[in-house]
Structure 1
Amino acid sequence: MSKISGKATKSVSDSRRARRSTMIGAVVVVLAAVVLFAVYRNSQSANGGTAGGSGFEHVAGQPGTGTAAPGFTLTSDTGSQVGLADFRGKSVLLYFQEGLSCQPCWDQIRDLEKNRPALKAAGVDTVVSITTDPADLIGRKVTDEKLSTSVLSDPTMRVSQAYRANSYGMMGDTRDGHSFVLVGPDGTIRWRADYGGAPAYTMFLPTQKMLADLTAERAP
């Protein structure tokens, strides 16, 4: 009987130890998950990153919401001079992009054009794209792509650097990334989203996704 009793006691003890080990393991897993989530949130806060309503990771660079949009005058794809002041009294969406070597960027413009009613409903009066390629080459590309959006040439990167749009591209700071800046009728930036940064270099996102972020994040 004593041997049987001893075996039973040992079995109960082993069972309790197993349960304790399982509980400890579960606690460790939960704590690890909490720590990892905290690290993730801190890194997101440090970088200003968010997935927003679109699900596409982006940051809001500087100059940002609430600041005066840097003025400019650039040569367009048609050879005319276009300035930010030309849009005073309207909401203009500036789209900084990588240019001729980035076909998804031109597909983005085409998608913006297809969604003009949605843009208008969201309070965007017009879209202007800015890239660093020469105006004559941009003109050919716009013609080839059959686009109507005004695309401006910023070969010296003066405007791109003023908006720091060249901080988010795959080519380092020699090209713009994939940045949207909404300038209100009074010349103040109402919303900004830079989608082109590392490690996920977004070069195209559906206009409806972009509008989800704009609607959720823009200033009044």
Structure 2
Amino acid sequence: MTNSTSPEPTQSDASVRLSAGDAAPAFTLTDSEGASVSLADFAGSKVILYFYPAAMTPGCTTQACDFRDSLGSLQGAGYTVLGISKDKPETLKTFAERDALTFPLLSDQDLDVHQAYGAYGEKNSYGRILTGVLRSTFVIDESGSIELALYNVKATGHVASLRKKLKIA
């Protein structure tokens, strides 16, 4: 049993945290169409990789639709957007079709990629400590290095904030 008054971090909240300059962890995941997608597929390109808790929930829908609505300007600035969740590919397909999402949604059911990026662990949800997906976004440069690592982002307004950080109108 864990002592909840202890100031010591638990193993899960002491997980990996990526920073600017770190190499982006490699991965290969299945997309909503059943195809394999690897980070290596985008070598030489800029990638915005975002992790979200669950398809078709209100916050995740807001965030995905914000990415969808900003996709033209993000792509115009040379970025590819990839969304990752623990949902099954079939669920991601339904989500993409329901909300007209035109960027790849990737399935990480075993949470290996979430953990490699530090996007899974302890979080505070309305005063309760839970273990789950940490809404996170990573900007990866053409050389495969992390340019920005943003943890515990808000679903609403995140894409506008990201565009401002990236100086994209």
Measured against the shorter chain, the TM-score band is 0.7 to 0.9
Residue 164 of structure 2 is matched in structure 1 by 212
- The equivalences for 1:60-79 within 5 A come to 62-79=17-34
Pick aligned residue for 1:149 from 103, 107, 114: 103
When the two structures are aligned, how many residues end up with a matched partner?
Answer: 148
Where 2:120 maps in the other structure, the secondary structure is: helix
- Larger Rg, first or second structure (1 or 2): 1
The answer to which structure has the higher strand fraction is: 2
Q: Which runs of 5+ in 2 are unaligned?
A: 1-15
Residue 81 of structure 1 is matched in structure 2 by 36
How far apart, in 2, do the equivalents of 1:124 and 1:139 lie? 25
Task: Provide TM-score, normalisation by structure 1.
Answer: 0.61
- The equivalences for 1:124-139 within 5 A come to 124-139=78-93
Closer, same or farther: CA 194–168 of 1 in aligned 2, 3 Å: farther
Query: Sequence identity, in percent?
Result: 27
Pick aligned residue for 1:173 from 107, 127, 131: 131
Q: What RMSD in Å do the two structures reach over aligned CA positions?
A: 2.1
Q: Once the 2 structures are TM-superposed, how far is the Cα of residue 212 of structure 1 from its aligned partner?
A: 1.9
How far apart, in 1, do the equivalents of 2:136 and 2:147 lie? 14
Closer, same or farther: CA 64–94 of 1 in aligned 2, 3 Å: same
Aligned AA (1:93)? I
How far apart, in 2, do the equivalents of 1:164 and 1:149 lie? 23
Residue 148 of structure 2 is matched in structure 1 by 191
Task: Provide TM-score, normalisation by structure 2.
Answer: 0.78
Closer, same or farther: CA 172–124 of 1 in aligned 2, 3 Å: farther
Bigger mean CA deviation after superposition, 184-193 or 161-170: 161-170
Closer, same or farther: CA 168–114 of 1 in aligned 2, 3 Å: farther
How far apart, in 2, do the equivalents of 1:66 and 1:145 lie? 34
Aligned AA (1:156)? D
Pick aligned residue for 2:115 from 161, 166, 183: 161
Contact 1:68–1:187 (Cα < 8 Å) also in 2: yes
| 1:22-81 Cα distance to aligned partner (Å, 9 max, x none) | xxxxxxxxxxxxxxxxxxxxxxxxxxxxxxxxxxxxxxx722110100000001011100
The answer to which structure has the higher helix fraction is: 1
How far apart, in 2, do the equivalents of 1:168 and 1:191 lie? 21
How far apart, in 2, do the equivalents of 1:93 and 1:100 lie? 18
How far apart, in 2, do the equivalents of 1:192 and 1:111 lie? 19
Closer, same or farther: CA 141–209 of 1 in aligned 2, 3 Å: same
Q: Once the 2 structures are TM-superposed, how far is the Cα of residue 206 of structure 1 from its aligned partner?
A: 4.7
Residue 37 of structure 1 is matched in structure 2 by none
Contact 1:66–1:188 (Cα < 8 Å) also in 2: yes
Q: Which runs of 5+ in 1 are unaligned?
A: 1-60, 197-201, 216-220
